[in-house]
Structure formats: structure tokens, C-alpha cells
Amino acid sequence: MWDYTDKVKEHFLNPKNVGELKDANAVGETGSLSCGDALKLFLKVNDSGRIVDATFMTFGCASAVASSSALTEIIKGMTLEDAEKITNDDISDFLGGLPKEKMHCSVMGQQALKKAIADYKGIQIMEKPGEVVCECFNITDLEIIEAIRDNGLESSDEVTNYLKAGGGCGNCLERIDEIIETAVAEN
């Protein structure tokens, strides 16, 4: 059983801002129902670029629900400029921490927020750059390198905890280890 903080439990058992936001003018989706977790984030942004409302719909575990709920609470009232600076660690910290095996849930929140902001700005997010390493979760080598660099990851287990890469069939674990080895050697 995972060791969840009281705040994670609260946001899971009594999530805030659940459901589709009918007058949303920005939407960001991430994850995949076929692979496990999925999140759809709805934002209502006013003319001055401030997030006046945020809701979510998610499919996933307690950490996914809690992270999504926390994200909406964090960003309500923020300007888009400030919201763009939100990291997955900010979401985890707001909840008093997440089990390392569940950090990918906060990453999913950060990704959905980036996509919603891009949607509001009318920016088309192109296909992911890089080579797909984990086919189960559509994770590229560049995403893995970024997670290693930003979070000091040193093992394939840590990469799986942050991105889910390697958490499906496991065929990519050897390639993930190679990427880690190269990234660590370059630092």
C-alpha cells in the first residue's frame, strides 16, 4: 500500500473542481486510457490572461485524482505567465509529497496544463520531438533526458516513476538504461 499524506487523501476522497467546464476557453489532454492514466484539464481564462476557473476529468489512481484536484486549486487566480512556471514538483509539494512510484501523476498534471495554455494561445503543439523509446506510453528519448536532467534521476525505476516509461511491457528498459548512462556521463 502506498504511503499517502493526509492532503493527498483529502484531494482523492473529496476532489475539488471535478467535471467538464462548459464555458472553458482552453483544454489540455494528456495520458491514454489504453495505458492507464488520462487527464483532461479545462480552463476559463479572462481577457487579461488570468485563470478564473479550472476543472478536470481524470481516469487513474488516487494520486492522479489528487494531483489533478491540487493543480486546479493551485492555478485558479494565476496569470497564464505564472501558471506556465508550474512544475510537477509544485503539484507534489502542494500535496505534501507523493510516493516516488506515483510522481508520474504530477507530471501528467504539468503536461495537461502546458497543453491547455498552448490551446488558449492558439499554439499548435506538434508531434513530440525525438525518438519514441517507450511505445506503451509514447515517451521519447528527449522526454526521458529532460526528466533525468530536471529531477536528477539515476535509474530506470526512477524514470518509470516519473514518466511511466518502462512500466508497461518493459521492452524499452535496456534503452532507458542507455539513455541514463549517456546523460549521466555528459553531466
pLDDT recorded at residue 57: 96
Does residue 105 have an active-site annotation?
Answer: yes
Instruction: Tell me what percent of the residues of the chain surpass a pLDDT of 90.
Output: 63
6 φ/ψ angles, rounded to the nearest 5 degrees = -60, -35
pLDDT digits (tens, 9 = 90+) for 103-132: 888 988 998 999 999 999 998 876 677 888
Q: Is the distance from CB of 41 to CB of 54 less than 8 angstroms? A: yes
- pLDDT bucket at 56, cuts 50 / 70 / 90: very high
pLDDT digits (tens, 9 = 90+) for 177-186: 999 999 887 7
Catalytic residue among 105, 134, 136, 172: 105
Mean pLDDT within 72-94: 96
User: CA 115 to CA 56: how far, in whole Å?
Assistant: 13
pLDDT at 74 over 80: yes
DSSP label at residue 153: -
What CATH number should be reported for the domain whose range is 132-186? 1.10.10.1100
pLDDT recorded at residue 32: 66
Q: Cell digits for 102? A: 506515483
Q: Cell digits for 159? A: 524514470
Mean pLDDT within 35-43: 86
- pLDDT bucket at 145, cuts 50 / 70 / 90: very high
Q: Is the distance from CB of 108 to CB of 127 less than 8 angstroms? A: no
> What is the domain partition of the chain in residue ranges?
6-121, 132-186
pLDDT recorded at residue 3: 85
pLDDT recorded at residue 65: 95
Mean pLDDT within 23-31: 92
Instruction: Provide the whole-model pTM.
Output: 0.78
Total number of residues shown for the chain:
187
pLDDT recorded at residue 184: 80
Does the domain at residues 6-121 carry the CATH identifier 3.90.1010.10?
Answer: yes
pLDDT recorded at residue 35: 60
pLDDT at 27 over 80: yes
What is the CA angle 11-13-17, rounded to 5?
50
Does residue 35 have an active-site annotation?
Answer: yes
